[in-house]
Amino acid sequence: MAGGIQSSRKGRGGRRKRQQLSEINVTPFVDVMLVLLVIFMIAAPLMTVGVPIDLPRSQAKQLNTPSEPLTISINKQGEVFLQEEKMGLDDLTNKLLAISQLPEEERIYIRGDEGINYGLIMQVMGKLNSAGFRRIALVANPEQS
């Protein structure tokens, strides 16, 4: 009698077929995503600096900007950069006018090295002002307290 009960469990074919497991193992995916997150958290601050400049210190608070601003940098040698592209002072306004839709609405940040002549910064600001750019800001590092 016990033998009859056992054979009825096996079914007609005598063997049970295994069903395939259709679940996705997400553990390797999560591991890769966490590693990428750490890499981008470390690399993101390094990607914002284009031209090495020693900025002067200031007590002013940082401005909050929603988008990537146009930045003009002037290094110790007096070379002028728009974003990370080196250019002459005369070509600067033409390039800015080509980039900008409305010059009077566009905010431009000027990053000048601490050791350069203040007159060069004023020349850049004068060129920008004569081209119609009215929203010009000077960038500095916060003072150490």
User: Is residue 32 domain-resident?
Assistant: no
The answer to the question of residue 61 being in a domain is: yes
pLDDT in tens, the chain (145 residues): 444 444 444 555 556 777 777 788 888 889 999 999 998 888 876 665 566 666 666 666 665 655 667 888 888 888 888 888 888 888 888 888 887 766 667 788 888 888 888 888 888 888 888 888 888 888 877 766 6
- Rounded Cα distance, 105 and 126, in Å: 17
- Asked if residue 81 belongs to a domain, the reply is yes
119: containing domain? 57-142
**CB contact at 8 A, 81 and 87:** yes
Q: Is residue 14 part of a domain?
A: no
* DSSP letter string, 86-97: EE-HHHHHHHHH
Q: What's the predicted TM-score (pTM) here?
A: 0.53
